Amino acid sequence: MADVLTSEVLADPVALTRALVDIESVSGNEKEIADAVEAALRTCAHLTVERVGHTVVARTQLGRSSRVVLAGHLDTVPIAGNFPSHPSMTAEGVELMWGCGTSDMKSGTAIALHLAITVTEPKFDVTYLFYEAEEVEAVRNGLFILSQQRPELLAADFAILLEPTYGVVEAGCQGTMRVIVSSEGKRAHSARSWLGVNAIHAAGEILARLSAYRAREVEIDGCLYREGLNAVAITGGVAGNVVPDRCEIEVNYRFAPSRSVNEALEHLVDVFHGFDVKLTDSAPGALPGLTLPPAAAFIAATGTTPAAKLGWTDVARFSALGVPALNFGPGDPNLAHKVDEHVEIVKIVESATTLRTWLSR
């Protein structure tokens, strides 16, 4: 399949997007697409290429004063009758490309590969990362594996993750946390309920606090991060004739990157004072770092006003390594993982042009 990435395809980010989309790469099945990407990159004398699992790393070694990262994942969510790709045009004359991964995020990954091949004298040294297993559990994520095995390959002054943003700079990302908040009771026969304490009834206070909660809005580098605290699941009950002695409510907290994971957990313990709070999952946010010279130059190249990333992305992995990062890509995030996933051709062209302008001397 490597031979589908011909020099003509690699020279055109739109054709390259379609070629990558037409290589099926559901998480866990990235070998074929990684082989194709690696083969294309190894033809370039200006790049040093390494591979760790099904993650391909290509780097320039030009002695520039700054190093930047362009990163895109190779995997997609499972196919849902949306493979291979196909084009169409709207009644308004907008050209579209349909297919699994068109938006999230093979259009962005294609741009990174196109630039790696065609920009031979960038004004920064550049590390291009094409990584596996972003859509599944964190321990399989190619960036996580690199951070554990080859952290030097992630070293940089600034990073751009080409996640779908519809051509807008989305800076940093929120942190995320899930906890189980539990209410306790005393089990009894429901015919003699006065002998027990109903834990589901007691959970009403947890829900009341959630309903009354007013989330913060935090401005960082001119970007407004809106926090959120929501119940996402509830579990309780023993049998149809038993007063339950325990009820558990799963709560998801999305917090501004100015808060650490520990600070976020302390906040939730305070909000649910009097109830048991058990941490089940967390990931830190990422500060935007928009005042740094490479970031400022990129924002100027886009001609847009950055917005806060209201969600979690792998920019947080770079932030944890001390590398400021932002999200920028041609796909529409609202179409990610959908059966009708597609990307506008003009967004691919515009995003490629913006990144080329930024990288070029």
Residue 329: is it exposed, middle or buried by C-beta count within 10 angstroms (0-12/13-18/19+)? Answer: buried
For tokens 């302390």, what's the residue?
A: 266
Q: Hey, which residues are catalytic here? A: 75, 134
250-272 core/surface letters (b: 16 or more CB in 10 A; e: else): bbebbbbbebebeebbebbeebb
Q: What angle do CA 140, 17, 325 make, to 5 degrees?
A: 55
User: Which residues, at least 6 apart from 333, have a Cβ–Cβ distance to it below 8 Å?
Assistant: 103, 104, 163, 164, 165, 166, 311
What tokens were used for 18? 């379609």
- CA–CA separation, 271 vs 171, rounded Å? 28
CB crowding 38-67: b at 16 or more within 10 Å, else e: bebbeebebbebebebbbbbbbbeeebeeb
For residues 225 and 218, is the Cβ–Cβ distance under 8 A?
yes
Count of C-beta atoms within a 10 Å radius of residue 111: 29
CB within 8 Å of 105: residues ≥ 6 apart:
72, 73, 162, 163, 164, 329, 331, 336
Longest CA–CA span in the chain (Å) reads: 81
Amino acid at 73: H
